[in-house]
Amino acid sequence: MKRRSVYLLILSFFSLVAAYFLSQLSLTGRVGINLIYTQYKFLKHPYIGFLVMFLVFLILFFILHFLYKRLKSNNANKISLTILFLGVIGTLFTFYDFTNNLSHKLLGWRFHFGTYLFWLGWISIPIYYLTSRGKNNNEKKRWNHIV
């Protein structure tokens, strides 16, 4: 339980720092968000960005927590690896987009850094579950009669 609490605290710190950097748009980025990409106005405010990112992290964290409690560890590990793979692919697509799309290049390095921090937080969640040493409840119940 303590390990999970510390990890959630680290995730909240990732969300806070990433939200701060995402809110540090360049002037052209601010103009673009105000005039064209209005659906991303929440990124201008660090507290809203923090809540959105932390909520995404919490949802992903508790989905994996639920899966590790309900499924065999082999199946849960496969799902974790899939989510890890999606995070790596998302990071690569983000990098590709930031280097090849002019409107995203103009957002500034702070915005880019905040986005990469988001993906780093995403990738760290399945790694947390893949490296956890505890067995899930199904395996404990299955081998309980032998011990």
Neighbour-count burial for 59-82, b at 16+ CB within 10 Å, e otherwise: ebbeebeebbeeeebeebbebbee
* pTM (2 d.p.): 0.81
Q: What are phi and psi of 144, to 5 degrees?
A: -65, -35
pLDDT at residue 60, as a whole number:
96
Per-residue pLDDT of the chain (147 residues; tens, 9 = 90+): 688 889 999 999 989 999 999 888 888 878 887 888 788 788 788 899 899 999 999 999 999 999 999 989 889 999 999 999 999 999 999 999 888 888 777 778 888 899 999 999 999 999 999 998 665 555 555 555 555
pLDDT at residue 146, as a whole number:
56
For the chain, what are the domain ranges? 2-132
